[in-house]
Structure formats: C-alpha cells, structure tokens
A = this chain, B = another copy of it.
Amino acid sequence: MKRNMKVSTAVIRRLPRYYRHLSELQEAGTVRISSSALGKSMGLTASQIRQDLFCFGEFGQQGYGYKVDSLKEEIGEILGISRGHTVIVLGTGNLGRAIIHNFRFSANGFQLLAAFDVNPQVAGTRVGGVPVWHTDRLEEFLAAHPVSVGMLTVPIAAAQEMGDRLVNAGVKGIWNFTNREISFDQKDVVVESVHFSDSLLALSYMISQREDRSRREGEEPQL
C-alpha cells in the first residue's frame, strides 16, 4: 500500500485534515466522493488531492471517485491510528481539564492512561474518569506503562523540565500546549507544539486584509 517515497511536511499536515473530512462525510452517510467534491470541501484542487493521495498508493478509481470508508481507513492506517498509541496528560489546570473532558482521544487512536499534577489535592482524584497521579510518581508510572505521547498543559516555567523528564523516561512524542518552545538532544523525539497565537495572528492578518480591501473599494466596512 505504501510507497517508499519521501513525503513532504505539507502533505503530512494535510493528512489529518483528509481524515477529519472523511470522518465527517462518513457520519453524514456519504458513500463515495469525487476528488473535486472532496477538494471543494477542503479548499484544495482535485489535482492537489490526487497528487497527495498518490504519495501513499492507489486510491479510488478513475471516474468513480473514492470510497469514503475505505479511504478513511487507509489514511487512518498511515496516520498510525490503529497502533495502540497511548498518552498521558501533564497538568490538570483549565486547559488540561478541557482537553481531558472534550477531546476524543480514542477517535484519534490514542488511549488516555492517566493525568499528572503537582497539586497534592488533585492527585488521587479522577478528572473525566481519568486517574490523576502526583507528578512525583511520573517516572514510576512510565517504568510500568508504555506511553507514546506526553501532553504538556503545565505552566510555561515547567515546560522544558517536564519535557525532559518524559524524554529521559523514554517517551518519544511530546504534545506541547505551553506556548514555550522546548527542545531535546535526543534526535528520535518528536515535539508537536500547539500555538494558539499562530492561529489568532493568521486570522488577524486575514481580517486586516479585508479591512484594507473594503477601504480601497471606498466602502465603509459593512456592519
């Protein structure tokens, strides 16, 4: 199924979006979709979609489009959804809690094993059904449970230190929500940072462009 070619970062970044759109199509009961219809819903051209998917093998049939469920399943395989990945959450403040309560880890192929917090009042409780351990016991936990990803929702000042503890205990994936860049000497560690500011600033740019356009067109911005 997989070709042995180097896949660009841009394609890798689009794969989860394909997966998400195909999941929505599946939930809506769509059985088949053409590359142009899929492209339209994702803001891509049909040829872009054919090129992207060609990186990974033969999907779909000329003139018949893609079967939504099998394309979703194959992309899920590529993304590693059925590999039994596991995740722990470090930091059960508002953000940690929001994600524990609302994020569908299992729909993304992850089993949420535990959360950790430095607050002794929180340790020993459960958040959204997930046991909370004291952070002092992180290494003890990691020695007993294989963890693919450590999610960091700790305060900024603790980001690198907690990341180091995860990596030193063998965790290879860090999902970083702290808005602090962190890095590791170990080359086989992957850090994925979620920067809310990047998203808001992109939005700021886009609305600023629209404001300028309204102004150039001599209109008052429509209210």
Which residues A165-223 have CB closer than 8 A to chain B?
Answer: 170, 172-173, 175, 179, 181, 188, 190, 192, 194-208, 210-211, 214, 221-223
The complex places the Cα of A201 from the Cα of B173 at a distance, in Å, of: 11
A104 touches B173 (CB 8 A): no
> Does A24 make an interface contact (CB < 8 A)?
yes
B194 touches A83 (CB 8 A): no
Which secondary structure characterizes the binding site on chain A?
helix
User: Interface on A for B, CB 8 Å cutoff?
Assistant: 10, 12-13, 15-17, 19-20, 24, 78-81, 83, 85, 93-95, 97-99, 101-104, 107-110, 146, 148-149, 170, 172-173, 175, 179, 181, 188, 190, 192, 194-208, 210-211, 214, 221-223
A15 touches B202 (CB 8 A): yes
Complex interface: chain B residues within 8 A of A13 (CB):
198, 202
Complex interface: chain B residues within 8 A of A206 (CB):
12, 173, 190, 192
B94 touches A98 (CB 8 A): yes
The complex places the Cα of A95 from the Cα of B103 at a distance, in Å, of: 11
The verdict on A196 contacting B196 (CB below 8 Å), with A12-B205, A205-B79 known, is no
Cβ 8 A contact of A211, one of B12, B17, B83, B179: B83
- A20-B195, A78-B205, A95-B102 given. 4 additional CB < 8 A pairs? A95-B98, A107-B197, A149-B203, A192-B202
